[in-house]
Every structure is written in structure tokens, then in C-alpha cells.
């Protein structure tokens, strides 16, 4: 259990790093129409009490379908990686950088809509559920000890209320958000004995990223007359921050 107790903070980090872009309180697609876009979202934070430096990035395509003038369904598909620097999960003084293999796939879906819209101000809401691929990671800590970490797919839930204000051709927006994530991890510790027989310890952990409150601030503006828009957004949650950029076009 000494391995598991030291590894627990790492697993919490892996389950809760990706934070959604909420967006302005207006739909992207027209009623019964579509929109298509691309996005990049980066998150970097320091987690207590072990001061781990964690970075996570996701790249995705996004499409939306306008259900009516004030409500749309959207979906995202792409890849998401994560890196945790200088992790001690075996013995004090021994550390290792933990990272995913490239950009494992993820996809998400949700609803986005306008609750109220005036000439200058508007209020909207966004709800998203995301699924991230599981992964397996081997770490050799010593000549006779190595660990295998098997992450189940991570489920993530995000919700935000957006307050927007029209400034010229663009919209300045912001508001509160809520984040929650959940995953299970199979931790297998393999240790070679004096006669080179293998001693294996297996632990299954269910990890829940406690629901966190945060805030976001963003800017959305049109690019030319072809229907393209640019969206920039920053967010703060659980002692960290995230920055995202996206481009989308009404079809």
C-alpha cells in the first residue's frame, strides 16, 4: 500500500485536468443549420500538497446543430495529452515524468443555449459531457521494481453560465463554471525477489475529482464576411488556469 498512497495524488491529477471552453451566451449555428470549427485548449497548474507541475492539451474538431433560434447541440472529437513532471510514486527522492502516449482520442457532446438576449446584454448556459481514452503506462523505478498504471476511460462533466456584452462587432463574456471528473485506475507493482521470482501487488482505485467551482472570461468576434468567428477564452479552477482558442463558421 505504500506505493498506492504515494501514487494517489498523481491519479487525481490525471482524472481532472481538462476544462471545457464554455463560450459566449449565443448559439454558433443558426436555427436548423450547422456550424463547424477547430479548437486548441491548454491547461497548466500546480497541484498541492505535492507541488506537481501539470500540463494538459487538447486539439479538436467541433460541430453544432441548431435546434431552434436559442438552443443547439454540439459535439467535439480530437486528441488530448497530459504531462506530470517530477512525480514520486515509489520512494522519496526518486521521481519520474508521467505522460500520455501522444494524443489519445476523446469526444464530447452537450447543449448550448441563450436564456435571455437584449440589445447589449445576454445570458446563456453550456453543458458538456466528455469521454477520454484509457491508457497504460509502465514505469521502472529500480532494477527489480516496476509499476504498470492502467487508466480506465475518464468521464468529465462541465457546466457554465455565461454573461455576455456586445462591444462593437465582438462579444465580451464571462461567468462561473462547475467541473467534475471520474475514473478508475489499476495499479500493478512488480518486484523481483532474491531468487528472481516475481512478487506482484494489484490495487484498483476509484478516483473522483471533487466538483470544483471556477470562472471564465472570453472574447468572440467575426473574421471577415465569410461567416468565420474567432473565440479566445481563459479559465481559472482549482488553483490552475486554462487558455483556449477556437475558430468556427456558420454553415
Structural domains in the chain plus CATH codes: 2-250 (2.40.128)
How far is the C-alpha of 232 from the C-alpha of 216, rounded, in Å?
A: 11
Neighbours of 168 (CB within 10 A): 7
Kindly state the average pLDDT of the residues 172-191.
Answer: 81
SS (H, E, C) the chain: CHHHHHHHHHHHHHHCCCCCCCCCCCCCCCCCCEEEEEEEEEEEEEECCCCEEEEEEEEEEEEEEEEECCEEEEEEEEEEEEEEEEECCCCCCCCEEEECCCCCEEEEEEEEEEEEECCCEEEEEEEEEEEECCEEEEEEEECCEEEEEEECCEEEEEEEEEEEEEECCEEEEEEEEEEEEEEEEEEEEEEECCCCCEEEEEEEEEEEEEEEEEEEEEEEEEECCCCEEEEEEEEEECCEEEEEEEEEEEC
Check if the beta carbon of residue 162 is closer than 8 Å to that of residue 24. Answer: yes
Neighbours of 74 (CB within 10 A): 23
Out of 96-105, 120-129, 196-205, 211-220, the most confident range is 120-129
* Mean residue pLDDT across the chain: 79
pLDDT at 10 over 50: no
How far is the C-alpha of 87 from the C-alpha of 106, rounded, in Å?
A: 25
At 88-118, the pLDDT tens digits run 666 666 676 777 778 889 999 999 999 999 9
At 33-66, the pLDDT tens digits run 999 999 998 877 655 445 656 677 889 999 999 9
pLDDT at 224 over 70: yes
Amino acid at each position: 500500500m505504500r506505493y498506492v498512497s504515494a501514487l494517489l495524488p498523481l491519479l487525481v491529477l490525471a482524472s481532472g485536468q481538462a476544462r471545457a471552453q464554455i463560450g459566449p451566451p449565443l448559439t454558433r449555428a443558426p436555427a436548423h443549420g450547422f456550424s463547424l470549427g477547430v479548437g486548441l485548449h491548454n491547461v497548466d497548474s500546480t497541484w498541492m500538497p505535492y507541488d506537481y507541475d501539470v500540463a494538459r492539451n487538447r486539439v479538436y474538431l467541433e460541430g453544432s446543430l441548431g435546434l431552434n433560434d436559442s438552443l443547439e447541440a454540439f459535439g467535439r472529437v480530437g486528441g488530448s495529452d497530459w504531462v506530470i513532471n517530477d512525480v514520486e510514486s515509489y520512494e522519496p527522492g526518486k521521481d519520474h515524468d508521467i505522460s500520455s502516449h501522444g494524443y489519445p482520442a476523446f469526444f464530447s457532446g452537450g447543449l448550448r443555449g441563450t436564456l435571455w438576449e437584449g440589445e447589449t446584454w445576454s445570458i446563456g448556459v453550456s453543458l458538456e459531457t466528455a469521454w477520454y481514452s484509457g491508457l497504460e503506462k509502465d514505469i521502472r523505478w529500480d532494477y527489480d521494481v516496476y509499476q504498470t498504471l492502467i487508466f480506465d476511460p475518464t468521464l468529465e462533466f462541465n457546466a457554465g453560465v455565461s454573461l455576455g456584452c456586445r462591444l462593437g462587432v465582438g462579444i465580451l463574456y464571462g461567468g462561473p463554471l462547475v467541473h467534475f471528473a471520474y475514473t478508475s485506475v489499476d495499479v500493478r507493482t512488480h518486484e523481483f525477489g532474491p531468487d528472481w521470482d516475481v512478487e506482484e501487488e494489484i490495487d484498483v482505485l476509484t478516483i473522483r475529482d471533487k466538483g470544483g467551482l471556477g470562472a471564465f472570461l472570453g472574447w468572440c468576434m467575426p473574421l471577415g464576411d465569410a461567416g468565420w468567428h474567432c473565440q479566445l477564452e481563459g479559465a481559472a479552477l482549482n488553483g490552475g488556469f486554462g487558455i483556449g482558442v477556437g475558430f468556427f463558421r456558420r454553415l
